[in-house]
Amino acid sequence: MLKARLFLWLIKIEILLLIGLYIHSHFMVGLREREIYGKRQLVRELSLTDMALFTEARYTRDISQADMFTPFQDFPSSFDHFPAGSIIEPNRDNVRGR
Amino acid sequence: MKKHYRILEYALSSLLRRKYKNLALFFIYTLIVCLLSSVMFLTHSLKQEAINVFIDAPELIVQRLLGGRHDLIPLSYVDTIKSFPGVATVTPRFWGYYYDSLTGGNYTVMALTSNASLNLITGRMPEEGECAVGKGVAQARQLDINDALFFTLASEQKLMLKVVGIFTANSSVLTNDLVIFDKNDVIRFFALDKAKATDLMVKINNESEIATVANKIKRTLPDTRPITRSEILRTYENVFNWRGGMALVLFCGALLAFFIFAWDKATGLSAEERQEIGILKAIGWETSDVLTLKFWESTVISFTSFLTGVILGYIHVFEFGGTIFVPILKGWSILFPPFDPMPYIDLYQIVVIFFLTVVPYLASTIIPSWKAAIADPDTIMRT
């Protein structure tokens, strides 16, 4: 029964590790609370609306400010040639009802 | 219970007999779970951070559209909007983009809208003739506090500014490509019409009236496009939703690989496995015992792979900043913020990964085993 015992121990260790990581994540979020507060202050004082993740095109830099057809404004029926444009969904929410 | 324990022992011996094949299976399975969980952890973390941070975004932004494009908005609109009941303040925003030919990066140039001191900045906020830059800009241009920064657009549009503030690295997700100028410097540099602004930021007294005021602005000034804070938040919820956009691209590849892998298992057992089932049946094992054995064999593989994969996914995203995904996310961006996602974990996601990977695998191994186990042992051993 050695193999079964070893396997069950391995599973127990992995489950404990996973629970440990879950607790670690909560602890880290609590520890970095000040960072979130600082970012909220930046957003409030600099009136920021978007994350600086994809800086290659204006409609990927400011996702929430761009409308659905922005990529095609370069010329009629132009293709979206920026890589980030293919991994960001069109901003349908801002177009609906406007 | 004792019976299950013995069958588990036998299942482990059986797996060890084909250790290289099963070890390869474990590695592939773990890799797929690791990729799936990394996508989920990363997108959820970015989404949660965006929601927590943009809760303080402007309540309403009013843009002007001309020929379907974003155009500068006349400052005369400020008084029109201010006259609407419920509107507290209307502040013009001046901002734009600057392509830096020296580094090939795109910077976002913004004018200061308030003079409050900030926590996530080394130095201070700029006055006229000065600027504050994001960490990415500072690194690209090798800048330090009190260094001079030169911007040029045309022969008449040149600026030499003193760097008085650098945003800290942990704010990079918001400020990496940002350059903050004084309002007059932005107007002069971009040669903006003095009677116009880039857009207007509207503050509303009662939060529940935001949508009403937005509709009223749209009706009164039909060439404008109001964007509410809830729309900004919804945009980020959609962009980082694991069932769409960015996540789906990353997610689909891994999921497809897993389905091919599970399909291969489901389409049949190897001759060796069928023979083993035949022998077990011939020496007196019941069909239910064979199924229990196969259940334990696939449980050993799938549980260890699932747990290892999720643990590795967590370490990959929250300890190594999702290094595998960086080339995909970076695209053509020159200034890409270093990833240090907040470890926001949603248990629902772990349950989803479990149901997407462990359950189909268990089903795909049990069904062909059941088919073999109900057949005549003599026939199985002969085929």
Look up the ipTM and state it: 0.86
Q: Residue A69: which domain range?
A: 58-95
Q: Residue B42: which domain range?
A: 2-53+240-382
A39 and A67, same structural domain?
A: no
B315 assigned to some structural domain: yes
Interface A-B, measured as beta-carbon pairs within 8 A, has a size of 213
A16 assigned to some structural domain: yes
Interchain pair A48, B345: CB under 8 A: no
The pLDDT tens digits of the residues spanning A10-67 come to 999 999 999 999 999 999 999 999 999 999 999 999 999 999 988 888 888 888 888 7
Q: Match 């001046």 to its residue by tokens.
A: B94
pTM: 0.87
pLDDT of B290:
85
**Cβ-proximal residues to B227 (8 Å cutoff; 6+ apart), any chain:** A49, A64, A65, A94, B60, B61, B62, B63
Q: Match 């507060």 to its residue by tokens.
A: A37
Per-residue pLDDT of chain B (383 residues; tens, 9 = 90+): 788 888 888 889 988 888 888 898 899 889 989 988 998 898 899 999 999 999 999 999 999 998 878 899 999 999 999 999 999 999 999 999 999 888 888 999 999 988 778 888 898 999 999 999 999 999 999 999 999 999 888 767 788 999 999 999 889 999 999 999 999 999 999 989 999 999 999 999 999 999 999 999 999 999 999 999 999 998 888 888 766 555 666 667 777 777 777 777 666 677 777 788 888 888 888 888 888 888 888 899 999 999 999 999 999 999 998 888 888 777 777 788 888 889 999 888 899 889 888 888 888 887 777 777 777 777 767 76
CA distance B295 to B287: 12
Helical pair B229-239 and B19-53, crossing angle rounded to 10 deg: 170
A39 assigned to some structural domain: yes
Contact with chain A for residue B344, Cβ under 8 A? yes
Interchain pair B342, A28: CB under 8 A: yes
> Which of A32, A39, A60 best probes binding to B when mutated, by most B CB atoms within 10 angstroms?
A39
- Least Cα separation, residue B40 to chain A (angstroms): 15
Among left, alpha and beta (phi > 0; psi -120 to 50; other), residue A77 is left
A52 assigned to some structural domain: no
- Please check whether residue B311 is in contact with residue A14, taking contact to mean a CB–CB distance below 8 angstroms: yes
Among left, alpha and beta (phi > 0; psi -120 to 50; other), residue B232 is alpha
Total structural domains in chain A? Answer: 2
- Least Cα separation, residue A79 to chain B (angstroms): 16
Q: What is the DSSP-derived secondary structure letter of residue A69?
A: T
A41 and A6, same structural domain?
A: yes
B193 and B268, same structural domain?
A: no
Residue numbers of B between 110 and 139 with CB closer than 8 Å to A: 110, 112-114, 116, 118-120, 134, 136
pLDDT of B18:
83
> Which of A11, A27, A64, A80 best probes binding to B when mutated, by most B CB atoms within 10 angstroms?
A64
B233 assigned to some structural domain: no
- Please check whether residue B365 is in contact with residue B298, taking contact to mean a CB–CB distance below 8 angstroms: yes
Interchain pair B328, A87: CB under 8 A: yes
- Please check whether residue B41 is in contact with residue B349, taking contact to mean a CB–CB distance below 8 angstroms: yes
Interchain pair B57, A48: CB under 8 A: yes
A51 assigned to some structural domain: no
Interchain pair B57, A43: CB under 8 A: yes
List of chain B residues whose C-beta atoms are within 8 Å of the C-beta of residue A52: 108, 134, 136, 172-178, 335, 337
pLDDT-derived band at A97, boundaries 50, 70, 90:
very low
pLDDT-derived band at A75, boundaries 50, 70, 90:
low
CA distance B346 to B242: 12
